[in-house]
């Protein structure tokens, strides 16, 4: 039996070689138990940053990090072996509340959605922060309760528990301070190790591209999407990636409670929903249902998803999920009581008329962070009551005194700063601009 020597693994990758799966497994075990040092982890990360990984190496790294902690065994919780267990992951954007309506739509059409979500990162909002706007909502049920909600309701949205892919947690912390976060193979393994720990039968990725996304060019977005699809497929999980536009805020709200309000309105009054938000949600739902075989094909899946939304069935399932996780039974009826918004409300007017022709989406996300809706310190709590509503969309025509958005802030000074930030982030023109489609490309497994 050969002796495992971490520096030999580093040397192989440094020199552009291929690391054996067994050595990757042993290295990850050393990350988990601490026997591999921070210096060795950072050296391997840098070697991977410069020399990349094959899909087989990526799959081995992903599975080793997945298996470093808990992995959901759905058959052990009474699910059939072929149950359509499916999830979606977004690379992050501004106003991206898609998961909140997507999970109940898919559940209404026969899928089971065990969604492990995250908090806000940088200028992007986090699904978990939004759900915690709802009083009593418990994002950390134990595995048995999590499985029971998925079985009985059809979906459950939770946060990452302490023993979910712990190797990734340490690996990411080291990458964060060694300038290796941007490595596509390591981003891929980080995303997939957490997602696949949920025991998925299929995964759909929403890879965002544009000035409000981490991947600001189509080339970068395609590289990441292709890597995720290849590695997930090699790891045994059928995966499809949709490349979607993030050159404007998704929907008309950005914040936490305000996005829950938009979710409720979307589910209970879909005829009035923002068109781009509806399109991306239904497109993702169709792919999740078809890929997991909950529905026979994309066309049927899309039709079923539309029916589930328009009939109110998806709204009912979202309400059931909220109650199952400790939230109020009358959320829809008394939403403003349960989630009061910040007291200072001011319009963002642009002072001249024209068509909205450009938007610095990242700057709008940072305006929400500055209001308190995101974190400038990882240890800080977010303010769920602040944010933006009524956000204009590219191609909208506004008069000089017509609001481009409404600001909800705790103080006058915070509101005025947000107004200036949003005003500076929006461009006007005399003619209506061409607007990119919300779904730019689909990369299938």
* Tokens linked to 129: 């922060």
Considering the domain architecture, whether residues 368 and 312 belong to the same structural domain is answered as no
What's the pLDDT at 378? 60
Same domain? 130 vs 42: no
- Shared domain check, 86 and 46: no
Mark whether 146 and 205 lie in a shared domain. yes
The predicted pLDDT at position 326 comes to 98
Is residue 394 domain-resident? yes
Looking at residue 122, its pLDDT comes to 64
Same domain, 146 and 122: yes
Do both 308 and 212 map to the same domain? yes
CA 84 to chain centre: 20
Please indicate, yes or no, if residue 438 is contained in any of the structural domains: no
CA distance 302 to 324: 27
Q: Which residues, other chains included, contact 289 with Cβ-Cβ below 8 Å and sequence gap of 6+?
A: 84, 86, 106, 109, 110, 111, 295, 301, 304, 305
The CATH number that applies at residue 366 is 3.90.1170.30
Per the structure, the complete domain to which residue 147 belongs is given by: 75-166+179-333
Name the token pair of 86.
């499916």
Cα torsion 137, 142, 146, 152: sign: negative
Residues 293 and 353 in one domain: no
SS3 428: strand
β-sheet with 354-359: strand ranges across: 397-398, 354-359, 426-429
The confidence score (pLDDT) of residue 299 equals 97
Q: Are residues 193 and 285 in the same domain?
A: yes
Return the bridge partners of 244, or none.
208, 439
Task: Assess if residue 443 is contained within a domain.
Answer: no
Q: Specify the pLDDT at position 213.
A: 86
Domains identified in the chain, total number: 3
The CATH number for 14's domain is: 1.20.970.10
Q: Which long-range contacts (CB under 8 A, 24 or more apart) does 168-174 make?
A: 168/65, 168/68, 168/193, 168/194, 170/31, 170/32, 170/41, 171/31, 171/41, 171/45, 171/65, 174/38, 174/41, 174/42, 174/45
With 0.95 as the threshold, say if the pTM is over it.
Answer: no
- Identify whether the C-beta of residue 227 lies closer than 8 Å to the C-beta of residue 369: no
Helix/strand/coil for 340: coil
H helix or E strand, kind and range, residue 441: strand 439-443
Beta-strand relationship, 387-389 and 239-245: unpaired
Q: What is the per-residue pLDDT for 162? A: 66
Q: Is 136 in the same domain as 16?
A: no
Q: Is residue 444 in a domain?
A: no
d(CA 313, CA 49): 46
Residue 111 lies in a domain: yes
> Buried b / exposed e across 354-368, counting CB within 10 Å, b at 16+?
bbbbebbbbbbbbbb
Is residue 1 one of the residues assigned to a domain? Answer: no
Which residues participate in catalysis according to the annotation? Answer: 87-90, 127, 175, 190, 194-195
Task: Assign residue 144 the CATH number of its domain.
Answer: 3.40.1030.10
Residues 210 and 345 in one domain: no
- Domain end point (choices 333, 354, 370): 333
Is 171 part of any domain? no
Could you tell me if 213 and 247 lie in one domain?
yes
Q: CA 220, CA 21: separation in Å to the nearest integer? A: 27
What is the predicted pLDDT for the residue at 150? 97
Are 29 and 126 within one domain?
Answer: no
CB 242 within 8 A of CB 206: yes
- The three-state secondary structure class of 10 is helix
Q: CB–CB of 185/230 below 8 Å? A: no
Residue 86 lies in a domain: yes
| pLDDT tens digit at each of 445 positions of the chain | 578 999 999 999 999 999 999 999 999 999 999 999 999 999 999 999 999 999 889 989 999 999 999 888 999 999 999 999 999 999 888 999 999 999 999 999 999 999 988 776 667 678 889 999 999 999 999 889 999 999 999 999 998 776 778 898 899 888 878 888 778 899 899 889 988 888 899 999 999 999 988 788 899 899 999 999 988 888 889 999 999 999 999 999 999 999 999 999 999 999 999 999 999 999 999 999 999 999 999 999 999 999 999 999 999 999 999 999 999 999 999 999 999 999 999 999 999 999 999 999 999 999 999 999 987 666 678 999 999 999 999 999 999 999 999 999 999 999 999 999 999 999 999 999 999 999 999 998 5
Q: What is the pLDDT of residue 38?
A: 94
Tell me what percent of the residues of the chain surpass a pLDDT of 70: 97
């Amino acid at each position: 039996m050969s002796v495992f020597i971490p520096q030999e693994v580093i040397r192989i990758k440094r020199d552009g070689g291929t690391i054996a799966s067994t050595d990757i497994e042993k290295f990850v075990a050393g990350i988990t138990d601490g026997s591999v040092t921070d210096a060795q982890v950072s050296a391997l990360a840098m070697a991977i940053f410069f020399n990349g990984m094959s899909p087989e190496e990526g799959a081995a790294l992903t599975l080793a990090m997945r298996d470093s902690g808990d992995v959901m065994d759905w058959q052990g919780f009474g699910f059939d072996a072929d149950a359509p267990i499916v999830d979606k992951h977004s690379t992050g954007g501004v106003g991206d509340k898609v998961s909140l309506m997507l999970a109940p739509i898919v559940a209404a059409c026969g899928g089971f959605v065990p969604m492990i979500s995250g908090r806000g990162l940088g200028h992007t909002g986090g699904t978990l922060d939004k759900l915690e706007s709802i009083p009593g909502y418990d994002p950390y049920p134990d595995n048995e309760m999590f499985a029971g909600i998925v079985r009985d309701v059809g979906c459950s949205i939770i946060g990452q528990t302490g023993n979910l892919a712990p190797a990734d947690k340490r690996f990411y912390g080291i990458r964060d301070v060694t300038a290796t976060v941007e490595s596509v193979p390591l981003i891929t393994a980080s995303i997939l190790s957490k997602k696949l720990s949920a025991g998925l039968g299929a995964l759909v990725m929403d890879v965002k591209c544009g000035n409000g996304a981490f991947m600001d060019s189509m080339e970068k977005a395609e590289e990441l999407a292709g890597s995720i699809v290849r590695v997930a497929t090699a790891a045994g999980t059928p995966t499809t990636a949709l490349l979607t536009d993030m050159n404007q805020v998704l929907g008309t709200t950005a914040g936490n409670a305000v996005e829950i309000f938009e979710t409720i309105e979307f589910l209970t009054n879909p005829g009035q929903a923002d068109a781009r938000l509806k399109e991306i949600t239904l497109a993702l739902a169709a792919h999740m249902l078809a890929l997991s075989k909950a529905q026979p094909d994309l066309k049927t899946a899309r039709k079923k998803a539309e029916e589930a939304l328009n009939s109110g069935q998806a709204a009912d399932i979202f309400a059931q999920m909220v109650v199952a996780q400790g939230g109020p039974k009358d959320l829809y009826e008394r939403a403003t009581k349960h989630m009061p918004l910040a007291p200072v409300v001011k319009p963002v007017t642009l002072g001249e008329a024209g068509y909205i022709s450009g938007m610095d989406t990242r700057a709008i996300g940072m305006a929400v962070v500055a209001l308190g809706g995101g974190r400038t310190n990882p240890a800080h709590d977010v303010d769920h009551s602040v944010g933006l509503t009524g956000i204009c969309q590219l191609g909208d025509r506004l008069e000089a005194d017509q609001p481009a958005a409404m600001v909800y802030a705790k103080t006058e000074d915070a509101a005025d700063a947000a107004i200036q930030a949003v005003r500076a982030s929006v461009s006007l023109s005399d003619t209506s601009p061409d607007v990119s489609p919300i779904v730019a490309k689909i990369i299938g497994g």
